[in-house]
Chains A and B, each alone.
Chain A
């Protein structure tokens, strides 16, 4: 499960997790999706980019 908030700054990144995953699966560029979702800081961006959903 994705952490509720960004570990560094506290932004609730998990709220965008489903949308991010869906759009990536549709073939959109991760950079464009993150920019569009308003996730600007690199601490928050790595939360979504590097997350591996295992359970």
Chain B
């Protein structure tokens, strides 16, 4: 199997996989989304909420906050179902508190976590608004969990793959340039009486170029063992960590099957 990183930044990783089959790539994709543990707020004790927002809505908003869950931050933390405390203990949960008096907008940065590393990824998320003399006071417990249980524990937002496109021109191509004009993604460009392929990874295989070609001599196909894979995360875990963890989970699963068989 061959890998090549096409594009990478803080929250996004695009890479090419060559020589894999669909089942394998899809398994990785599903595990990235569903079985890589992240931290999210799971329980909220509201002591006081004078705002116009319902308690349930506020709790829901808190649950959706992306919280730093990279390997370093979650070191030592165990999954709640592996912990035998039955409630919330320091091994399985991180308590957070929010105390604020209006008038103000309460932001995610106002949430005070007991653990310095495990806190909301973004400081600027507005949670609720308080008017004059209104107060909010709550206690929240963040825990590890997986996307299979609830979408708030999904580390990825976009996690998808597509086949690697293949473009070929037949011998009868007259270099008229019609195909280049029809491409909505700028993959084909008409320069000096020649059609050039610019960035093939950007091709969506929409076949607009094929339809624009009078003699239908341009060919769009794909290689079904070559993929372009994109992982974009919500900031809680870097995308390469998601991928590595997904590979670990998959190999654990394979080990389990080998044991049974």
| A binding-site residues for B, Cβ under 8 Å | 1-2, 4-6, 9-12, 14-19, 41, 55
Contact = CB atoms under 8 A, between A and B. Distances in A.
A10 B154 contact: yes
Mostly helix, strand, loop or mixed at chain B's interface? loop
Given A10-B154, A55-B52, A15 B124 contact: yes
Given A1-B53, A4-B61, A10 B234 contact: yes
A50 to B, nearest CB: 17
Nearest to A44: B157
Contacts of B151: 10
Contact of A55 (B61, B124, B129, B232): B129
B158 A12 contact: no
A19 B234 contact: no
27 contacts: A1-B126, A1-B127, A5-B64, A5-B234, A6-B157, A9-B157, A9-B158, A10-B151, A10-B154, A10-B157, A10-B234, A11-B157, A11-B234, A12-B66, A12-B121, A12-B122, A12-B235, A14-B125, A14-B126, A15-B108, A15-B122, A15-B124, A17-B124, A17-B126, A18-B124, A41-B158, A55-B129
Nearest to B105: A18
A19 B124 contact: yes
A16 B61 contact: no
Mostly helix, strand, loop or mixed at chain A's interface? loop
B128 interface: yes
Interface residues of B, number: 22
B65 interface: yes
Contacts of A6: 157
A44 to B, nearest CB: 9
Contacts of B126: 1-2, 14, 17-18
Contacts of B64: 4-5, 12
A47 to B, nearest CB: 13
B122 A1 contact: no
Nearest to B128: A1
